[in-house]
Amino acid sequence: MITLKSLGRKLEKLEASMQKDARRLSKLIRKVKRAAASETMPNKARIRVKGKPATTSVRSAKQKRKLSPEARAKLSALMHERWAAKRATVVPVAIVEEAPSISAPDGNTAASA
C-alpha cells in the first residue's frame, strides 16, 4: 500500500526533474537561436566577433612567476628543505613496533595500567 507521504515524495521528485528538463530545454533553445543568428550575420562580422579576445579568461588565468636564476635556485633549495623535513617527520608504520607488555608482580600488565 502506498502512503500519502511516499506519494508526496514521488510527486516532488517528478516536479524537480521536470523543472530540470525545462531548464535544459530552454538552454538548448537559446543555443539554437544564437547559432541561427550567427549564421545570418555577414562573414566579416562573424569573423570579427570570433576574433575578439575573451577578457575574463585572460584575467582569471594564473600568471607565470618570472624569477631570476638566483631566486629560482633559492626557492628550489627552500622547497627541498621543506620536503626533507616533511619526510623526516613521517614515520612508516612498519618501523613502529609495539612495546612488549611487562607483567607486574600482582599479575596486571604495566601497559594497561
Tens digits of per-residue pLDDT, 73-98? 999 999 999 999 998 887 666 655 55
- pLDDT at 113 (0 to 100): 46
- pLDDT at 92 (0 to 100): 60
- pLDDT at 102 (0 to 100): 62
Q: Can you give the pTM of this predicted structure?
A: 0.31
- pLDDT at 82 (0 to 100): 94
Q: Is the pLDDT of residue 60 over 70?
A: no
Nearest to residue 47, comparing CAs of 35, 38, 57?
38
With pLDDT > 70 as the criterion, what percentage of the chain qualifies? 61
- Is residue 18 within 8 Å of residue 10, measured between CB atoms? no
- Is residue 90 within 8 Å of residue 82, measured between CB atoms? no
**Mean pLDDT over all residues of the chain?**
77
